[in-house]
Amino acid sequence: MKLIIFGSTGGTGRELVKQALDQGHNVTAYARNPSKIEDLEHPNLEVVIGDILDLVSVEKAIEGNDAVFITIGAAANRTDIREVGTRNIVQAMQKSGVKRLVCQSSLGVGDSRSNLSFFTKHIIVDIFLRHAFADHERQEEVVGKSVLDWVIVRPPHLKDGPRTGNYRSGFATTDGQIKGWISRADVADFMLKQISNDSYLHKAPGVSY
């Protein structure tokens, strides 16, 4: 398939690029700073320089792809980068007729807040990450209101680590047995599976150990 990845220079994004190429897909890595992925040279990889806040650039990049991935990280100079960037991506997809969207959010957003521990919920999220989570909430709202074939993926704290393929997904929001972290490689593995699996279509599954 022809896949485009927004947020391709981040931890999960880089894993998506590498794993998608390993699986034989043609990948477009959309990046504001392509030097961060210069080491990922591959004949099936195209790097497009652009800003997700530039709708025209996003529209041009998305056209002709089969599926879109969003792993947008936080920005130092604004608190709505995920919301605004995702809105541009969704608008571009609807204009070009690309339907499949897999968007990384975070465990703790929406009804998954109850999956978090007391400390994570009231100290980490409510104090230190409140702006980031508010942005994720608005991002999910943008995706959920679209007419796309979307899946929102909610991982807990992300760490570097191997792709094990041994993780849980779609667990209940009352499940208190999940781990508070997961490797970026396993998140990418799960996200890639969503381009050919409709089990979580129009849903926001959590993914963790």
Show the domains of the chain with their CATH numbers. 2-208 (3.40.50.720)
Q: Is the pLDDT of residue 117 over 90?
A: no
* Mean of all residue pLDDT scores within the chain: 96
pTM as predicted: 0.95
Confidence (pLDDT) at 118 = 87
pLDDT at 17: 98
pLDDT tens digits along 58-100: 999 999 999 999 999 998 889 999 999 999 999 999 999 999 9
Q: Which H, E and C letters describe the chain, residue by residue?
A: CEEEEECCCCHHHHHHHHHHHHCCCEEEEEECCHHHHCCCCCCCEEEEECCCCCHHHHHHHHCCCCEEEECCCCCCCCCCHHHHHHHHHHHHHHHHCCCEEEEECCCCCHHHHHHCCHHHHHHHHHHHCHHHHHHHHHHHHHHHCCCCEEEEEECCEEECCCCCCCCEECCCCCCCCCCCEEEHHHHHHHHHHCCCCCCCCCCCCEEEC
